[in-house]
Structure 1
Amino acid sequence: MIALTIAGSDSGGGAGIQADIKTFQELEVFGTTAITALTAQNTLGVYDVLDVTPAFLKQQLDAVLADFNVKAIKTGMLFSAELIEVVAKIVGKYKNIPLVVDPVMIAKGGESLLQEQAVEALRTKLLPLTLICTPNIPEAEVLTGMTIHNEKDIEQAARKILGMGVQYVVMKGGHLDGEFSTDTVYWTDGYFTMKTPRVDTKDTHGTGCTFSAAITAQLAKGLSIEDAIIEAKKFIHLAISNPLSIGHGHGHGPTNHFAYKRTLGNCEVIVYES
C-alpha cells in the first residue's frame, strides 16, 4: 500500500516529513512525499524556515500522483495560503483518495509554522475536501476563533470544524490536564472517545505528525475510519510511553517510532462509543 504526505521537512527528524515516513514504514506502508518547506531545527528549537515555491510543490504532487497508486494522503505543515491553494486544487481532483489534515500551526517550542493569512485558506479551500482533521486544542481555537476550556467547548469547536466541510474531527486532548489523555472523534451524527493513561514526559515532539500519519497509513491499508483512528492512538501512545531521550534540548525531544512494532502494538485504548 502507498501513502502520500504533504508536509515540511524537520532536520531534527522528530516531526514533519521525517516522522511521517518513519510511521508509514513501521506500519508497512510505502511512503511518498511532497515537501512544502525546509526547516533548520533540532531539540533546542526552530532556527529558520524556507518554503518551496507553489510551482515546485505542484511538480512534486503531479509527479507522485501520476505514477503511484496512492491510497491515502495526509497534510502537515503547509506554511502559506499559496501552498494550501495548490494542494487543494490538486487533491480535489482525487476525491476517491481519503485526505487526513493535521492543521499544523505552531511548533512545540512555540514557533509559528503557518502564516496568519493561510488559516482562512485552510478553512475554505482544504477542509471542505477533508475526511479526517486532527487538531489539538490550540489549533482548534485558531480554526474556530473560540477559547476552549472544557468538554462542552471541545464539542462546540468540533461542530464548527465539521461545519467547514470536514467529515470527521479528532479533537486531541493532550494539552488538557487530567489522569488520561483523551481524544474525542466527532462526525455529523455521532462521536466516540478514546482514553490512554497520560505519560509524564517531555519527549512529545512530532506527536501530531505521527498520529495523523498513523491514521493515514491505516486508511491506506483499508481499515475502517474508527479502527484506523484507534490503531493510530495505540501507535502514538506507545511512541510517547517509550522515550528515546535523545538531543540536548530541555524542551521537547522526539517520540519513539520503533515502539509500536517492538511491542506488537500491545496497548489498551479505552473506547467509549456514543
Structure 2
Amino acid sequence: MSRLRSTLFPYLLAGPYIALFAVFVAYPVGRALYMSLFDWGIFGPNAFVGLDNYTSLVGDSRFWSSFWITSGFAAMYVPMITVISLVLAVMLHRKLPGIGIFRTAFFLPIVINVAVAAIAFNWLFEPNIGTIDKVLNFFGLPGQNLLQIPGWSLFVISLVTLWINVGFMVIILLAGLENIPDELYEAARLDGSTALQDLVLITVPLLRPILLIVVVLSIVQAFQIFGEVLIMTQGGPFGSTTVLTMLLYEEGFERFALGRAAAIGVVITIIIATLSFIQFRFFRREV
C-alpha cells in the first residue's frame, strides 16, 4: 500500500497543473488548429478546406506586412526590456534603506490592467491637453501626437509595453542575483574591479539561465502584443502598427473569417515556439 501511495503521490501533485494545462493551453491550441482547417464562419464550419487557410496567408501581403511589423517590434522591444530590467535589477539589488519601496514601485505596473495603462498613456500623448504636448510647448516646440506618426507609433507602444512588464522581469532577475555569492564581488573589488567589470564578468555570466528566461518571455510578449495596439492606435497610422494579433482580430471579429483567424493564431504559436526552441538550443550549446 505504501509503495502504491509513493507511486501515485507525484501524479496527484501534478494533477492540478495537468488539468489547468489541458483546459487553458492544450484545448485552445487544439481547437484553433481544428478550426484553421475549415472555412469557418460566424455560424460554424461551412466546409473542410485543409491547408487552404495557411496557403492563402503565404500570398497575402497584409499577412507579411503584419509579420514584419511584429518582428520589428520584437527586435526593438526584446533587447530594450532585457537590458533595462538587468540594469534596474542590479541597482535594486543593493541593500540600501528604503529599497523595498522602489522594488514595489517598479513591480506595481504589472498588476495594472493593460487597457487602463493604454488609456492612461493615450492621455499623455493627446494633442493640446496631453502632458507630452505641454512639455514640448514649454520648450518652444510644436506639439505632436507621436502615436499618429508612422515609425514613432510602434516605438511608443514598445515603451508602454516595457513599462507594464519591466517590473516582472526585474523580479525574476532579482531572484537570480540573490543566488550569486557576495564573496565573488568582494574578491573582484580586492583585485581592483570596477562596477562595470563586475556586471560584465560576474553578474551577466552567472545570470545567463535567468536572462534566457527573460528573453524568451519577452519574445512571447512581443508576438502576443494586442491590447496596447488596439486601444492606442487601432493598427494605424496607415497600418504601421497592424501586428499579427491585430490582423487576427480583424479577420475574426470584423470579417468573421474565423478559420483564417485561427490559422494566423496557429502561425503565431509556431513562431513563438520556434524562436524559444532556438534560444534554448543556443544557450545549451554555449554552456
Higher normalized strand content (fraction of residues):
1
Q: Which has the higher contact order (CA 8 A, sep 6+)?
A: 2
**TM-score by structure 2 length?**
0.21
**TM-score by structure 1 length?**
0.22
Instruction: Answer with 1 or 2: which has the greater Rg.
Output: 2
Higher normalized helix content (fraction of residues):
2
